[in-house]
Amino acid sequence: MASVIPVILILAIVLGLMACGYLFVPKGLHQTTIRTAIMLTLASCYLMWMVTYMAQLHPLISES
Amino acid sequence: MGDDYPTLFRSEQMSLMQFLIPTEVAHDTVAELGELGNVQFKDLNPAVNPFQRSFVGEIRRTEEMARRVRFFESQIQKDKDVVPIRPLYDSAPLVTVGPSAAHNIDGLDVTLAGHETRLGQMNDSYKTLSERTRELVEARHVLRETAVFFEKAETQQTDIRTSFDDSSAPLLQHDDREQQYLSSVQFDLEFVAGTIDRTRISTFERVLWRVLRGNLYMNHTDITEPFVDPATGTETRKNVFIIFAHGDALLAKIRKVAESMGATLYPIDANADKRSDSLREVTARLEDLETVLYNTGLNRRSELLRIGENLARWQDVVRKEKAIYETMNLFNYDVRRKTLVAEGWVPTRDFAMIHMALRHATEESGTSVVPILQELHTSKTPPTFTRTNKFSEGFQTIMDAYGIATYQEVNPGLFAIVTFPFLFAVMFGDIGHGLIIFFAALYMIIQEKKWARQELNEIVGQFFYGRYIILLMGMFSVFTGLMYNDIFSKSLHIWHSGWDFPEPASNGVSYAVSNGHMYPFGVDPAWHGADNGLVFTNSYKMKMSIVLGVIHMTFALCLQLPNHIKFKRPLDIYANFIPQMIFLQSIFGYLVVCILYKWSIDWSTRDTQPPSLLNMLIAMILSPGNVDATAQLYRGQGFIQVVLLLLAVVCVPWMLCMKPYFQWKEMQMIQGQGYVGLGHRNGGPRESTDEVLENEEEGNGRAIVEEMEEEHEQHDFSEVVIHQIIHTIEFCLGCISHTASYLRLWALSLAHAQLSEVLWSMTIEKFLGLSGIFGTIALVMVVVFWFSATVFILCLMEGLSAFLHALRLHWVEANSKHYQGEGYLFMPLSFAKLDEKE
């Protein structure tokens, strides 16, 4: 049964990945850039996936 | 930030440095700093006329050399055969610093002057010789044609003579008369011969006829080849004419008329032998001239080839020298210490590098006096310098095009690296198209080194400059294509679909039944061919646009915080940031939460009908507190909505009044302490003034002009109030209009998907069913057409359109939430950038 649980699960995974991205990027000339890029990418891709998933959870119309 | 690395988050910290450069080392020091490209020099002589500055003489000399180099360049370009110019990285270097520099520059000057005189002479002689060739060719034509005339005239005379034979005249007398007649033909009828433009020949005839009252005999023929003017390349067609008349007066008149009509007259002899002699002479001279012309051409070409070997190097040297002397004109000559004083903005991080460069310059020039570097304290705003590399340069440029960031404010370019391609991809989502632009960008990146050296076409150059942007755009487009489940307007069936289609009912319509499965990644492919597919997709995309938009705006709003903290404006946090955030979230954040909540409920198990969110929002504002029980989203909705609306309403006067009130109180306090009229600036101006006073006491004769030119913010209270009113209204109205503006994400992605589908169904789909060899050929042709339409219309045109809209979203919707953008760009003296400017 389609449920909201995958959304929360994936959210947790993405937050974990973002934390890893923040902590494990090596100090260097491009640390800020790489960190920001990784975290923003993860966040925006998750957002889009979440919206797409939730839009189809309990569809109000069925196809014809 | 106690940081050891520069970041894109803020612009670099800059300091104003004072250079004390001994005059001997000045040229080499500036050359070294120009190579480094890290110093932006200030003009220390703003009141001085450019013609009165110290290094005007040197600049004039370099200008002269630049003019000569430009002359060579134009000569090389005008030459019909291509003269190869050796590119800069291949040319022999010319040392312009150090003890031999002056000697080299003088030598260059002499060489350039020599080349110029030689080229000039050759050009002149070429022109003169061409002129003469032309005249001789005309003369030859005239000689030939007049020969024809005379032959005709003689044959006619013989005709007339034979007619005399009929009369009864004695033979001997006849012969005498013959002689007489022939000689009279040759001596009585004098003539004028020459050439004239074909267009003028009829006018010429008419004028002559009228002037001479018909007492002339004129004949003319065309010269078949046209004459080409060497200077302009135009062709003129001429005719040869010969006019017979008798009497000096008439001949004089003819000559005058001919000259006035622009004809050229040639001396032709009546005697046939003399004419053939002249013809031979003319031909011989022509041949000689042709040889001389050919040799001159060869010499010129070899001269141009020699110039071409070094031209790029000369252009480079001349450009650099001019820049160096123009910069040196900005310096101040300190008479007491006999040195040049320069001031410039330098990134604080690069202080050591500049020091080393100065030392290197001193070593190169061979003197032992090192220029002195001092830091100056000033309250002027430094320029904004963001250190970018080839990857971040493109993103920074497109955000800078809106406005240069204020010194050290948060740089939106950093976040645009991801948000810009992402928002582009939301509007462009198609796996196939995404792959096309990804590979195009990849190709450009692989050919980077080669392309960077070439002179690219303007449009291709633009695409090349943004190659990393396009790369990221492609990558994100593939992702959003997976989300929208769209590859060249078809959908992918990677996982199990969540819908089953039973057998169609009698009217051909079948309703799918949900089988409990969730398509895990993206839009279910079952929606693809469905009749009401668009209804679902539209609802989904619209809501997604709102969600993404509100989150983007919230993120941009939060970027205000680091700015307020860094510039020590705590008042702004409480008076601007917090009420703005509350306003935005209480209405639009609530909308987003409702969207997500409505999606997460299984409406088939609820007894209420799912409410329309748009109506709900409108009702929340127009009739707060009244929520129809049958159409409510959750219990207690009415109460919560009233609370949120009240919060939003409270924020407006909060934004309007708090900041002006506190600033007024501050002004009162300062006035109360008796410091009226001094420029009031936030953040302790007093420390710097103390230092300035200290330094004055120590007797440093620095030009301390800072305070005089400083921007005096006259804190007129009315101005503050007006500014805050505008700001408040802009924000509140902007919230609504910007949120709606994000719906363009839906609109463009819909347009893209529809366009793609139409293209497929109108082209390839029609040809798929055909069989046989003819069908296959037609299919191949249609596929080619479909692919080129995909690239040009869908990728290029739609891509540019989505690029523009994503950029607009960044510039207007996001930047208005935090960006001040009042800085000026850091423009260092950089020889590398000189090339780009050209």
Count of structural domains, chain A: 1
A33 to chain B: which residues are within 8 Å by CB?
7-8, 392, 414, 417
For B589-620, give one letter per residue: b (16+ CB within 10 A) or e. Answer: bbbbebbbebbebeeeeeeeeebebeebbebb
Domain that holds residue A49: 5-56
The whole-number pLDDT of residue A16 equals 94
Percentage of residues in chain B with pLDDT exceeding 90?
A: 32
The whole-number pLDDT of residue A62 equals 67
The whole-number pLDDT of residue B556 equals 94
B523 to chain A: which residues are within 8 Å by CB?
52, 56
State the alpha helices, DSSP H only, in B447-531. Answer: 448-453, 458-465, 467-484
Candidate from A32, A36, A63 with C-beta closest to B530: A63
The whole-number pLDDT of residue B627 equals 77
Distance from CA of B598 to the nearest CA of A (A): 9
Q: List all residues of chain B from 116 to 175 with a beta carbon under 8 Å from chain A.
A: none
For residue range B356-375, what is the model confidence (pLDDT) as tens digits? 888 888 888 777 778 888 88
Confidence band of B155 (pLDDT split at 50, 70, 90): confident
B603–A60 CB contact, under 8 Å:
yes
B-chain residue closest to A1, CA distance:
B516
Q: Does A20 touch chain B (CB under 8 A)?
A: no
- Mean pLDDT in residue range B380-392: 91
Among B349, B411, B595, B599, the strongest candidate for a mutation testing the A interface, having the largest count of A CBs within 10 A, is: B599
Confidence band of B412 (pLDDT split at 50, 70, 90): very high
Q: Does B578 touch chain A (CB under 8 A)?
A: no
The whole-number pLDDT of residue B689 equals 43
For residue range B550-607, what is the model confidence (pLDDT) as tens digits? 999 999 999 999 999 999 989 989 999 999 999 999 999 999 999 999 888 888 787 7
Among A14, A31, A38, A44, the strongest candidate for a mutation testing the B interface, having the largest count of B CBs within 10 A, is: A44
The whole-number pLDDT of residue B666 equals 87
Rounding to the nearest 10 degrees, give the CA dihedral for residues B448, B450, B453, B459.
-60
For residue range B301-316, what is the model confidence (pLDDT) as tens digits? 888 888 888 888 888 8
Q: Residue B247 and residue B245: Cα distance in Å, rounded?
A: 7
B419–A58 CB contact, under 8 Å:
no
Q: List all residues of chain B from 531 to 560 with a beta carbon under 8 Å from chain A.
A: 531-533, 535-536, 539-540, 543-544, 547-548, 551
B-chain residue closest to A5, CA distance:
B600
Q: Residue B332 and residue B469: Cα distance in Å, rounded?
A: 44
The whole-number pLDDT of residue B700 equals 45
- Mean pLDDT in residue range B799-807: 95
B490: pLDDT strictly greater than 70: yes
A64–B535 CB contact, under 8 Å:
no
pLDDT-wise least confident of B293-307, B373-387, B740-754, B759-773? B759-773
Percentage of residues in chain B with pLDDT exceeding 70?
A: 89
B806 to chain A: which residues are within 8 Å by CB?
none
A60: pLDDT strictly greater than 50: yes
Q: Does A11 touch chain B (CB under 8 A)?
A: no
Among A50, A57, A58, A61, the strongest candidate for a mutation testing the B interface, having the largest count of B CBs within 10 A, is: A58
More confident residue, B107 or B770: B107
Distance from CA of A17 to the nearest CA of B (A): 17
- Mean pLDDT in residue range B730-741: 93
Distance from CA of B544 to the nearest CA of A (A): 6
B519 to chain A: which residues are within 8 Å by CB?
56
A33–B392 CB contact, under 8 Å:
yes
The whole-number pLDDT of residue B751 equals 95
A57–B498 CB contact, under 8 Å:
no
Is A51 a member of any domain? yes
Q: Are B245 and B217 in contact (CB under 8 A)?
A: yes
The whole-number pLDDT of residue A64 equals 63
What element of type H or E holds B343? strand B339-347
B467: pLDDT strictly greater than 50: yes
B105: pLDDT strictly greater than 60: yes
| Mean pLDDT estimate for chain B | 83
Is A17 a member of any domain? yes
The whole-number pLDDT of residue B706 equals 43
| Measured distance between the N- and C-terminal CA atoms of chain A, rounded to whole angstroms | 22
Candidate from A52, A54, A64 with C-beta closest to B600: A54
Q: Does B469 touch chain A (CB under 8 A)?
A: no
Distance from CA of A41 to the nearest CA of B (A): 6
A63–B551 CB contact, under 8 Å:
no
Q: How many A/B residue pairs have CB atoms within 8 Å?
A: 122
B230: pLDDT strictly greater than 90: no
The whole-number pLDDT of residue B503 equals 65
The whole-number pLDDT of residue B188 equals 52
What element of type H or E holds B57? helix B56-78
Candidate from B426, B526, B543 with C-beta closest to A55: B543
- Mean pLDDT in residue range B178-184: 50
B512–A60 CB contact, under 8 Å:
no
More confident residue, B682 or B734: B734
Question: Looking at beta carbons, which pairs linking B790-798 to residues 24 or more positions away fall under 8 Å?
Answer: B790/B432, B790/B433, B790/B436, B790/B488, B790/B756, B790/B759, B791/B436, B793/B755, B793/B759, B794/B430, B794/B433, B794/B752, B794/B755, B794/B756, B794/B759, B795/B433, B795/B436, B795/B437, B798/B428, B798/B433, B798/B748, B798/B751, B798/B752, B798/B755
Distance from CA of B496 to the nearest CA of A (A): 13
Q: Residue B542 and residue B747: Cα distance in Å, rounded?
A: 8
Per DSSP, the three-state class of B10 is strand
More confident residue, A58 or B355: B355
The whole-number pLDDT of residue B157 equals 63
Q: List all residues of chain A from 31 to 50 with a beta carbon under 8 Å from chain B.
A: 31-33, 36-37, 40-41, 44-45, 47-49
Candidate from B419, B480, B518 with C-beta closest to A48: B480
**Degrees (nearest 5) of the Cα angle B663, B667, B671?**
175
The whole-number pLDDT of residue B589 equals 94
Candidate from A1, A31, A37 with C-beta closest to B418: A37
More confident residue, B511 or B172: B511
B485 to chain A: which residues are within 8 Å by CB?
none
A33–B535 CB contact, under 8 Å:
no
B-chain residue closest to A47, CA distance:
B548
Question: Looking at beta carbons, which pairs linking B570-574 to residues 24 or more positions away fall under 8 Å?
Answer: B571/B659, B571/B662, B571/B663, B572/B659, B574/B658
A31 to chain B: which residues are within 8 Å by CB?
5, 7
B498 to chain A: which residues are within 8 Å by CB?
2, 56
B344: pLDDT strictly greater than 60: yes
- Mean pLDDT in residue range B687-693: 44
**How much is the ipTM here?**
0.95
The whole-number pLDDT of residue B682 equals 45
Distance from CA of B462 to the nearest CA of A (A): 24
For residue range B258-295, what is the model confidence (pLDDT) as tens digits? 888 888 888 877 777 888 888 899 899 999 999 999 99
Q: Does A5 touch chain B (CB under 8 A)?
A: no
Is A64 a member of any domain? no
For residue range B19-33, what is the model confidence (pLDDT) as tens digits? 888 888 888 888 888
Q: Look up the pTM and report it.
A: 0.80
For residue range B744-755, what is the model confidence (pLDDT) as tens digits? 999 999 999 999
More confident residue, B164 or B664: B664
The whole-number pLDDT of residue A19 equals 93
Instruction: Walk across the sheet containing B190-197 and list its strands.
Output: B217-222, B238-245, B190-197, B264-266
For residue range A2-41, what is the model confidence (pLDDT) as tens digits? 678 888 999 999 999 999 989 998 888 888 899 999 999 9
A62–B511 CB contact, under 8 Å:
yes
The whole-number pLDDT of residue B507 equals 59
